[in-house]
């Protein structure tokens, strides 16, 4: 379904947008039919809720005009969100509900899908909302874009989940505190640059149709270019498991589109650690690291589709607590491997006798903690140099002229952790694709003064 949950952690520094939101709050407040005026503290909470709702629904529309936002308005759910470290301090059940009612009464947001209580309590659905044309016109008149949105600096970026993948509140923790400080440096680096896709609006629409339903990341299906900071997720209520970075739009960008990523309008390069988890295991055991740890499993050399399945299955074997109970991975194809899923799974196990004790042990999440620490160090090195470095788990995207620096830093960081140099692979970004034409190119002053798509977003970022 084309929907995501409400995210209250958005704000703006744009003076024109701030002024518009203030006037909107004043207008909605004046139209309320209340017997008594709110206390100042309650009024501030009411206005903060209005601003958060407007900004998040605008953000949803800009990423995909058909995207709905699920907003819970039950007192219990709101109270939980107000007290959780993952929620927002401005949320008060009474004032938040009043803000939703005022926005609907003012014709600025609309209920698009009502809530539904599943009798079996397994698939209940919160009510979903969208911004109305009236609200979008008002925002458009201000002349804003997604570049004017940013996440609250104090939004919790160190997230802990239980075995059921639910967020867990935790108290003051020394590790989380230092990790949070390092994360702020990384996010400051990411926010000081603009990452985008060198695709026209029409091309992006076609891309979205093609990839619909294929992405299982936390990000929405659409390209949410406002989402350009990251958070870390730790698993099983254990700081030693997981820790990878999520949240930025490029992390869930399909691999075939990543070559189109631009940083500050410039072509990029992606460098990844080759067979990272296998390389870590080899290094930890004091063994030499093969150039391609997955090559031994291929029935046909250089078969990228088969190699992808080998890599995914290898990692699934490390993450699972039992080899026998591992279900078929997504998009598995016996036509590619020549084997049934069960035969292929055990084929991978047989090809790595040196790792047999690791398969089905659940070590994968502990390896993720190590690879996320590598990623953190790589990004901090680039932040210190003032350069952008976009993380995609075990790979990084930088300006194409920084390829050698990235290659060297990744090797140095791996060697500092494991005592041997890690091997890396490189994918050069293609940037803007210029198609051949027999027609002469004419200067279009209107297009230069009023760019569209990614060019317009980049210009707005520089402005």
Q: What is the per-residue pLDDT for 331?
A: 85
Tell which residue, 348, 351, 332, has the closest CA to residue 340: 332
pLDDT for the residue 231: 97
Q: Name the phi and psi angles at 412, rounded to 5.
A: -65, -40
pLDDT computed for residue 434 by the predictor: 39
d(C-alpha 404, C-alpha 204), whole Å: 31
pTM, 2 dp: 0.90
What's residue 219's pLDDT?
A: 43
> How much is the pLDDT for 220?
46
- Give the residues across from 111 on adjacent strands: 129
Where exactly are the structural domains of the chain?
1-152
Residue 291: the pLDDT is 85
Tell me, what's the pLDDT at 432? 45
Low-confidence ranges of the chain (pLDDT < 50): 217-220, 432-441, 443
Alpha helices in 32-151 (DSSP H): 40-63, 75-83, 93-105, 133-142
């Amino acid at each position: 379904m084309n929907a995501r949950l409400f995210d209250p952690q958005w704000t703006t520094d744009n003076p024109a947008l701030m002024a518009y939101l203030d006037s909107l709050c004043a207008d909605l407040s004046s139209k309320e039919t209340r017997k008594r005026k709110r206390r100042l503290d309650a009024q501030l909470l009411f206005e903060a809720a209005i601003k958060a709702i407007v900004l998040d629904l605008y953000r949803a529309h800009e990423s995909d005009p058909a995207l709905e936002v699920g907003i819970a308005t039950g007192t219990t759910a709101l109270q939980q969100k107000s007290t959780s470290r993952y929620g927002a301090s401005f949320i008060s059940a009474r004032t938040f509900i009043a803000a939703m009612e005022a926005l609907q009464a003012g014709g600025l947001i609309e209920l698009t899908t009502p809530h539904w209580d599943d009798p079996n309590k397994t698939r209940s659905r919160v009510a979903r909302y969208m911004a109305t044309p009236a609200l979008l016109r008002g925002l458009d008149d201000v002349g804003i874009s997604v570049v004017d949105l940013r996440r609250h600096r104090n939004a919790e970026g160190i997230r802990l989940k239980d075995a059921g993948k639910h967020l867990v509140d935790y108290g003051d923790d020394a590790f989380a505190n230092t990790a949070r400080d390092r994360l702020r440096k990384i996010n400051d680096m990411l926010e000081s640059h603009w990452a985008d896709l060198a695709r026209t609006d029409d091309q992006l629409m076609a891309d979205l149709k093609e990839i619909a339903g294929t992405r299982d990341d936390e990000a929405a299906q659409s390209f949410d270019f406002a989402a350009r900071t990251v958070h870390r997720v730790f698993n099983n209520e254990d700081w030693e498991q997981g820790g990878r970075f999520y949240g930025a739009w490029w992390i869930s960008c399909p691999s075939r589109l990543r070559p189109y990523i631009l940083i500050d309008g410039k072509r990029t390069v992606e460098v990844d650690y080759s067979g990272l988890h296998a390389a870590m295991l080899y290094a930890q055991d004091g063994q030499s690291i093969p150039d391609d740890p997955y090559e031994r499993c291929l029935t046909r050399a250089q078969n990228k589709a088969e190699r992808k399945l080998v890599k995914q299955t290898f990692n699934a074997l490390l993450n699972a607590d039992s080899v026998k109970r591992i279900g078929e991975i997504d998009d598995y194809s016996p036509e590619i491997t020549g084997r049934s899923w069960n035969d292929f799974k055990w084929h991978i196990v047989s090809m790595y006798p040196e790792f047999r004790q690791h398969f089905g042990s659940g070590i994968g999440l502990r390896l993720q903690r190590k690879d996320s620490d590598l990623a953190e160090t790589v990004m901090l090195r680039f932040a210190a140099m003032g350069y952008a470095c976009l993380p995609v788990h075990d790979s990084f995207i930088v300006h194409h002229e920084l390829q050698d620096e990235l290659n060297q830093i990744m090797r140095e960081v791996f060697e500092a952790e494991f005592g041997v140099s890690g091997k890396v692979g490189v994918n050069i970004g293609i940037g803007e694709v210029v198609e051949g034409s027999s027609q002469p190119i004419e200067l279009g002053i209107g297009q230069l003064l009023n760019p569209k798509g990614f060019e317009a977003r980049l210009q707005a970022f520089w402005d």
